[in-house]
Amino acid sequence: MGRPAGERPGSAGEATEVSPTLRVAAAYGWRLIIVGAAVYAIFAALGRFQLVTLAVFLAMVLTALLEPLVSLLNRWIPRSWAVAAGLLIGIVLLFGILSLIGANVAGEWQGLRREFVGGVARIERWLEGPPFRLRAGTLSDVQERVSRFVSSHRASLISKALSGVSQLVEVLAVGALALFCSVFFLHSGDRMWTWFGSQLPRRGRRPVRLAGRAAWVTFTGYTRGIVVVAASNAVLVGVGLFALGVPLAVPLAVLEFFAAFIPLVGSPVALAVAAVVALAAKGPLVAAVVVLLIVVIGQIEGHVLHPLVMSRAVRMHPVVVALSVVCGSVTAGVPGAVVAVPLVSVAWSVYGVLRAHPPPPAPSTTSPGR
């Protein structure tokens, strides 16, 4: 039959053909929406159990660091004894570092207090000159205002300090759970993963095995690499501050070690603290040298240590690293900033492995000949 009179091509009587570009965009759009909803649900679940998630993450970090030592000890003693010896060595090393920091602070506290008093006076005289030309007594007025603020808000400050006791209990609980989990991860982590894989359907076991292997290799490479980078930065900072005569060189070096676990942000913040200490204790010239030390160590970390130590474990653009750190810090504060980069690197490595080794097609249910 012909087209009715008066009806033109493309009118409501005919189905309008959708552009191929729009069809492809729509297909990718709803898939991205589903993936985004799944990622949001995962992070929401992890946020609800933040302490448990942090404890498991710390247990995996301990496992990645102590597994070479435990495997070495396992050559001469049983696995259970090797795990106990490895954990004991790690705990002794940690408490040894903390005791060293405490002894260093206690030994330098009185001298540091005198240097700070003189340093504040030098800074005040320096600010009164050009180009700042602050009026005399500005820093003293600020100190008096801080003292009045503390005295007027003493009750709220005490309540916040008491709430910090509950946070300390949470930290101890997370540490105990992490230690408990790391014992089993070190002793029989491979058997635990094998058991988990055996509970899956036969068709999904191979992708899960490949993904788990890639994730663990990436995670252990990142963890050991970041420890090497952090230790190198701490040694450089400690030697530099000791050579400049800056007080508290050892605690500031340890602060640099732990701050280096937050990529791109932690190390400059720790060195900025060292610059403030140098400014108050040794004056603007030594503080300027410390600032120069910040630039030099940043260049060594970015162009030497990261390419040599972590290039195999983490192959991400610095923009991706920066966005991961910011998103992690917004989501979960400092723990989120620490966890963000290894989490993104593990997810990327798993995606690469699954893309290179797709699962086999499902067997056809139709009988031959049909």
| Domain map (residue ranges) of the chain | 48-199, 201-358
pLDDT (tens place) for every residue of the chain, 370 residues total: 455 555 555 555 445 677 878 888 888 888 878 877 776 777 677 667 777 888 888 888 888 888 888 888 888 888 889 888 888 988 888 888 777 777 766 666 666 666 666 666 666 666 666 666 566 555 556 556 655 555 665 556 556 555 556 677 777 888 888 888 888 888 888 888 888 878 878 877 788 888 888 888 888 888 888 888 888 888 888 888 888 888 777 788 888 888 887 777 777 788 788 887 787 777 778 888 888 887 787 777 767 776 666 656 666 666 777 777 777 777 767 777 777 778 888 888 887 777 776 666 655 545 444 4
Contact 186, 64 (CB under 8 A): no
pTM of the model: 0.69
Phi then psi dihedrals of residue 341, to 5 deg: -65, -50
